[in-house]
A and B are shown apart, each in its own frame.
Chain A
């Protein structure tokens, strides 16, 4: 029974495909891919709608106000109203803008974000796009976002757009490096770039109840935190939302977009967020595995989306709590702290592996991380000078 509930979507897809057994192979393949694509889009666009209203509700709760509560029960139909509003708004393109580039940018951003969702395993046998180098695919697709952001900024022919795009690209390039390096220890330990194999490597339980998720090893915890912070920067969320900084440069690279194009940017940002949190859950939080072996009868996709929602809640929580950082703080943080720490994670994972992956390895990798962390924070603390800030570029 539990297996049936677990595999219900897989069985449904197989049942749908039995209608086509007589058709040639390539038709079956195409239809199978189309089913995957539509399921993915359906789930994540719904999640986007739910997330947008929940975010505003939770932010309202944090800031001691109500949040949206007019449309539907508890304001839950707010995304429908927003969607209709965005659809019927006038689409304004600046007269001096580069029409084609301006038009292509939101499409490219959304396409990159949605493609990245494809390689994540959402449940047992539920990876929409199985590929040998899935993790690499994720980052390869993600790296095209930078060019799309640039296209948005340059195509708009607007100072604020260009400045916002430059800021976005600068911080995305800086944080792409730690993002990839924090994935390295997991890839090293598992010995595979395939997300399914990474999830399978975290399946067992130590002593029968502690799950063998990578987040429970010292290097895994560190890498997870670093990955999470870098993911926060990559998705341009508070406290790292200088590219949009509305008090300084209107809305960054989205300044000249209105109506549905703006909505597309917004959607791409959220979908990128889902992708990065989904990858974090896959790499460090055991993917679709249940946290306790007694609860394994709960369908795998429920666990995956529970972990995803928990991480997304932290995103919203941080947005409601932290102020915006300055661009130089972001860059210093990336190059002076996050990058050395992520290299340490790689070394600590190697130590953990060669010390036998048991308690001994656990303690040794903890020692490595503790030593580097202490040394690094002491070094950075002594170098901090409290002097009047010198603005070299704003004269």
Chain B
């Protein structure tokens, strides 16, 4: 049952990712990218990592996809036009894929490690973030605040 669901979601995700890479219109590619992310979130749900799945939907669909959409609309005049194949991008994608595959093959098999992992609840993630990882969290917070202020400064300079 579960493995069938994994296969279906994986096929859907891969199809959406392929569509994102090959579709002629940029906006269609963005939307298929969002579908692929939903598929990845679904995989996390099936693995029992609800929190990661939800954050993935929250951040990537709610923020990153909208950001991409806005970027496309604000920077390009030829949104509706068809695009040609981008060989540099393809090379980069193959390189990232190769790197990830190498890294995954080098890691210990998940099946060996799995029994030792405790169930990760939202509460445990919160506790870890607030105790052992509090400094990285603060650094990320600082970075985001700086980005926010930077955006404000960029907008304010426009004023006469």
Binding site for B on A (CB under 8 A): 26, 98, 101, 131-133, 136-137, 139-144, 146-147, 150-151, 154, 169, 173, 176, 191-193, 392
Contact = CB atoms under 8 A, between A and B. Distances in A.
Interface in B40-89: 50-51, 54-55, 57-58, 61-63, 65-66, 69-70
A133 B122 contact: yes
B123 interface: yes
B125 to A, nearest CB: 9
29 contacts: A26-B1, A98-B27, A98-B28, A101-B31, A131-B50, A133-B51, A133-B122, A136-B58, A136-B122, A137-B50, A137-B54, A139-B58, A140-B54, A140-B55, A140-B57, A140-B58, A141-B57, A143-B58, A144-B57, A146-B66, A147-B34, A147-B69, A151-B31, A169-B70, A173-B66, A176-B62, A191-B123, A192-B122, A192-B123
Contact of A143 (B62, B69, B70, B121): B62
Interface of B: 1, 27-28, 31, 34, 50-51, 54-55, 57-58, 61-63, 65-66, 69-70, 121-123, 158
Contact of B61 (A131, A132, A147, A191): A147
Contacts of A132: 50-51, 121-122
Contact of A150 (B1, B63, B66, B158): B66
Contacts of B158: 392
Contacts, number: 62
Given A101-B31, A133-B51, A150 B69 contact: yes
A151 B28 CA distance: 10
Contacts of B28: 98, 101
A136 B61 contact: no
Contacts of B123: 191-192
Contacts of B1: 26
Given A136-B122, A141-B57, A154-B27, A147 B50 contact: no
Q: Return the 7 tightest CB-CB contacts between A and B, nearest first.
A: A143-B62, A140-B58, A140-B57, A140-B54, A136-B54, A133-B122, A144-B61
Contacts of A392: 158
Nearest to B38: A144
A33 B1 CA distance: 16
Given A26-B1, A133-B122, A150-B69, A143 B63 contact: yes
A133 B63 CA distance: 19
A336 B114 CA distance: 48
B66 A147 contact: yes
Given A132-B51, A133-B54, A154-B27, A146 B62 contact: yes
Nearest to A145: B62
Which residue, of B54, B121, B123, B158, has the highest number of chain A Cβ atoms within 10 A? B54
Contacts of B34: 147
A113 to B, nearest CB: 15
B54 A144 contact: no
Contacts of B55: 136, 140
A147 B62 CA distance: 7
Contacts of B27: 98, 101, 154
B62 A133 contact: no
Most chain B CB neighbours (cut-off 10 Å) among A26, A169, A193: A193
B66 A136 contact: no
B122 A143 contact: no
A101 B61 CA distance: 16
Contacts of A144: 57, 61-62
B33 to A, nearest CB: 11
A140 B28 CA distance: 22
